[in-house]
Structure 1
Amino acid sequence: MGSIIVSENISLDGVIQDPTGEDNLGRGNWFAQIGEQNLAAWAKVELDEALGAEALLMGRRSYAWFVARGWASSRTGEWADRLRSLPKYVVSSSGLEGPDWGNTTVLKGDVIDEVSKLRQEMDGDIVIYGSGRLVRTLWEHDLVDELRLMTYPVVVGAGERLFGETTGATPLHLVSVRTVGDGLASLTYRPVSDA
């Protein structure tokens, strides 16, 4: 059985929206404030994560974001090559007719059923980048096995957060903490099972 791994860039106050400033929300581009050393260290962590993944899972908007920024075709380097080679699964109830990124399967229908089936059929890590709506849906149905939060030293103050209101509290176990570069913190959590 596969493991659903949520991998997010997140501010100290939990914002995941507009880290690159491209959404023009007036508070974005906190990603660019980390400096070259931190950027190189972050890219190494992301590459290692991609090399360890068996597949990517995304919502339609995150998938479109990656495609629009050349990940499907024009980006170069080992990380881009790895993402192109991975099987990609996109949850879309509408708006994604034909995939623009090779090795992509569109999951239509009930998201919980489709992701549960995918999780049963795969072995290894199924990594989710971005995809806040999808993450919240999977979280509410206990389908997230691990949270990997690359935490940026900035308070954004507004924007879409990883979690809003939930139906209940979920206890988590801290698996690891590590400094990335000289300013980022990588935090890994797993839900505490009742077993």
Structure 2
Amino acid sequence: MGKLTLTTFLTLDGVMQAPGGPEEDPGDGFRYGGWVVPFDDEVMGEFITENFGRVEAFLLGRRTYEIFAGYWPNHDDPANPVASRLNRLPKYVASTTLREPQWENTTVIDGEHLQAEVVRLKDKLDGELQVHGSGQLAQWLLARDLVDELHLMVFPVFLGAGRRLFPTGSLPTACELTGHRATPKGVVINSYRPTGRAAFGTFAV
């Protein structure tokens, strides 16, 4: 049985919107796209290479899928661990509006059947079903306890605006730290396994 993992770039204040460039996602007037770029370094690249080395299939939201589909088919390189896997492995897109995807090995899953399909995919895979970015989809999966592991790449910058991975009203969830590392430029990469509902208490007085 495979597992579903979520990998996300986050600012210190939890923003995940448009990490890769100014034009990536200017929705809601977001003006700070590309905040990851100044912190790219070798250690961050090593983690990404390791992560993509475990993938067997991808599950993506429509917006992230369209960003990837507009870039990676035009930058294909069999030696590149990201390009080679994104271009060749199965890709499942959660969407109610996408009808005829042009990127090879793409299957659209509508919202009505999404939960059953995610469970089915996890059951049939041996490796990882990976979610990258895909904010709305990530929140939907977390709210249904469908994520087996989170890789949160936290960058030393806060923006004060933008869509967040954990909005107000998120399901209270406890996690176990399964791995961590820091890059020379200050990016902290933490891996967590959800363990159930968050617990609460009080310190003895």
TM-score normalised to structure 1 length: 0.89
Secondary structure of 2:167's aligned partner: coil
Secondary structure of 1:168's aligned partner: coil
Q: Relative CO higher for 1 or 2, CA cutoff 8 Å, sep ≥ 6? A: 1
Correspondence 1:2 to 2:2 = yes
Q: After TM superposition, which residue ranges in structure 1, 4 or more long, deviate above 4 angstroms? A: none
Q: How many correspondences in the alignment?
A: 189
Correspondence 1:162 to 2:162 = no
Written as runs of structure 1 = structure 2, the 5 A alignment for 1:39-188 is: 39-69=41-71, 71-76=72-77, 77-79=79-81, 80-94=83-97, 96-108=98-110, 109-166=112-169, 168-188=171-191
Structure 1 gaps of 5+ residues are: none
Secondary structure of 1:188's aligned partner: strand
Question: Aligned partners of 1:60, 1:160: CA distance in 2, in Å?
Answer: 16
CA RMSD of aligned residues (A): 1.7
Secondary structure of 2:176's aligned partner: strand
Structure 2 gaps of 5+ residues are: 198-205
Q: Is contact 2:41-2:185 (8 Å) kept?
A: no
Question: Aligned partners of 2:135, 2:8: CA distance in 1, in Å?
Answer: 9
Q: Is contact 1:50-1:83 (8 Å) kept?
A: no
TM-score normalised to structure 2 length: 0.85
Secondary structure of 2:64's aligned partner: helix
The answer for the alignment partner of 2:37 in structure 1 is: 32
Looking at CA atoms only, which structure, 1 or 2, has the larger radius of gyration? Answer: 2
Aligned amino acid, residue 29 of structure 1 = G
Cα deviation, residue 193, structure 1: 4.3
Secondary structure of 2:151's aligned partner: strand
Instruction: Quote the sequence identity (%).
Output: 37
Q: Is contact 1:72-1:100 (8 Å) kept?
A: no
